[in-house]
A and B are shown apart, each in its own frame.
Chain A
């Protein structure tokens, strides 16, 4: 099996289109996941028993089932309840719901890490709970979260090939299509793997740099 460099070079533009879709889905899904994770983590600390229960139920369900099957259900169930979205949005929602449950756990850890004295001081100074969260707890909890969030971002990026199963035209799908049309498997998959590395390695280095700077 030989590796045809000219062919590999000729498929780069097609794969690049796929890469753009991948990056778009990951960034939007990540934002949704962080928002959802934050809400779930705050709900875990709520005084209302119902909210705590709901949040725990959500976490254990989404953490104990595979993302791929969740995507299938979303893809087929959303139209049934009258929501028809393009596949890309379904992908964003699927990734967001799934990773939200993981990021919630990370947020919970970080929030638990804020010393109890901070809560007591906020109570003593008679801050209402919104101010306590916004101005006291979250700023302290978020700083150690950064490297963890970075790991999840890279993890999400690596999970995106899964989105091909619900026909999103992302990088993996693009590679598969080229392979299917030309019967050449070596070049598309290799170029795809290189593109994945080209994104995930710099992101990883960037977050390492952030981490070092926040420790300094």
Chain B
């Protein structure tokens, strides 16, 4: 079969650029997810804490970050903070902005999963005089985790998709690489379609795993419910 050598060269150029971009996208997703997971737990525990001040701070955090769109927050961090003398690199801005936005949603997931652990379990913990750290680590968390993981996984897919926004603050992620290729090669429709497929290839396996896990967890729950109804 005959290949046009320049076409092959162009295809390799496109593949290399997009692969570099995809790597940056995955990096941002990874670091932002670290912030999301840690902040989600901190904020969720603050919202469930007995001190009113902590609860209040956490509520304000969640409401404000959920009210502002990720793009606006990124622009705020990138263009307004330098005016106050704080300049962050685009990478830090991207990771921080996305991490903060998604942690507001994540904290709600963690909170509802934690408060899903039944009242009896909590009473038992008190009766057996567990200290609160052991109680959380050994009793509450293992029971809350199956409720938490599927929505967290879906959120990770959302995060991966939302990283495309960082191309607007000059970070060279997948979308940005696509834009650059278009300035050098033209072919807007073709290249944007390839970029679209790249995102799909990265996100779809994750969604698939989440779906599978969710089905396994709920099938266990369903069978217990069926037994409960039968007995």
List of A residues within 8 angstroms of B83 by Cβ: 1, 185-186
Contact residues of B between 186 and 208, Cβ < 8 Å to A: 188-189, 192-193, 195-196, 199-200, 203-204, 207
User: With contacts defined as CB atoms under 8 Å apart, how many contacts are there between chain A and chain B in the complex?
Assistant: 87
Q: Given A73-B193, A192-B72, answer yes or no on A61-B79 (Cβ-Cβ < 8 Å).
A: no
Contact residues of A between 62 and 83, Cβ < 8 Å to B: 63-70, 72-73, 76-77, 80
Q: Which residue of A has the minimal Cβ distance to B68?
A: A193
Q: Do B161 and A65 touch across chains, with their CB atoms under 8 A apart?
A: yes
Contact residues of A between 197 and 216, Cβ < 8 Å to B: 197, 200-201
Give the contacting residue for B189; candidates A77, A161, A165, A200; CB below 8 A: A77
Counting contact residues on chain A (CB < 8 A from B), the size range is 20 to 34
Q: Given A1-B83, A73-B192, answer yes or no on A162-B71 (Cβ-Cβ < 8 Å).
A: yes
B side interface size, CB within 8 A: 32
Q: Which residue of A has the minimal Cβ distance to B207?
A: A64
Q: Which residue of B has the minimal Cβ distance to A76?
A: B188
List of A residues within 8 angstroms of B199 by Cβ: 64-66, 69
Q: Which residue of B has the minimal Cβ distance to A81?
A: B189
The verdict on A30 contacting chain B, using a C-beta distance below 8 Å, is no
The verdict on A158 contacting chain B, using a C-beta distance below 8 Å, is yes
CA distance A134 to B155 in the complex (A): 34
State the majority secondary structure of interface residues on A.
helix
Give the contacting residue for B72; candidates A67, A165, A196, A201; CB below 8 A: A196
Give the contacting residue for B75; candidates A60, A67, A69, A189; CB below 8 A: A189
State the majority secondary structure of interface residues on B.
helix
The verdict on A14 contacting chain B, using a C-beta distance below 8 Å, is no
List of A residues within 8 angstroms of B50 by Cβ: none
Q: Do B203 and A172 touch across chains, with their CB atoms under 8 A apart?
A: no
CA distance A69 to B163 in the complex (A): 11
The verdict on A159 contacting chain B, using a C-beta distance below 8 Å, is yes
Give the contacting residue for A172; candidates B67, B71, B178; CB below 8 A: B71
CB distance from B129 to the nearest CB of A (A): 40
CB distance from B14 to the nearest CB of A (A): 15
The residue in A65, A66, A76, A159 that gathers the most chain B C-beta atoms within 10 A of its C-beta is: A66
Q: Do B67 and A201 touch across chains, with their CB atoms under 8 A apart?
A: yes
List of A residues within 8 angstroms of B162 by Cβ: 66
List of A residues within 8 angstroms of B139 by Cβ: none
Q: Do A60 and B207 touch across chains, with their CB atoms under 8 A apart?
A: yes
Give the contacting residue for B175; candidates A60, A68, A76, A193; CB below 8 A: A68
Q: Do B175 and A66 touch across chains, with their CB atoms under 8 A apart?
A: yes
Contact residues of A between 84 and 122, Cβ < 8 Å to B: none
Q: Do B192 and A69 touch across chains, with their CB atoms under 8 A apart?
A: yes
CA distance A207 to B178 in the complex (A): 39
Q: Do A68 and B165 touch across chains, with their CB atoms under 8 A apart?
A: yes
The verdict on B76 contacting chain A, using a C-beta distance below 8 Å, is yes
Q: Given A66-B162, A69-B178, answer yes or no on A189-B72 (Cβ-Cβ < 8 Å).
A: yes
The verdict on B3 contacting chain A, using a C-beta distance below 8 Å, is no
What is the 8 Å Cβ interface bit string for chain B, positions 57-99, against chain A (1 contact, 0 not)?
A: 0000000000111011001100110011000000000000000
Closest 8 CB pairs of A and B: A158-B69, A64-B203, A76-B188, A66-B164, A66-B161, A72-B192, A1-B83, A73-B192
Binding site for B on A (CB under 8 A): 1, 60-61, 63-70, 72-73, 76-77, 80, 158-159, 161-162, 165, 172, 179, 185-186, 189, 192-193, 196-197, 200-201
Q: List 23 A-B contacts (CB under 8 A).
A: A60-B207, A63-B207, A64-B157, A64-B199, A64-B203, A64-B207, A68-B167, A69-B175, A72-B178, A72-B188, A72-B192, A80-B189, A158-B69, A159-B69, A161-B72, A185-B83, A189-B76, A189-B79, A192-B72, A196-B68, A196-B69, A196-B72, A201-B67
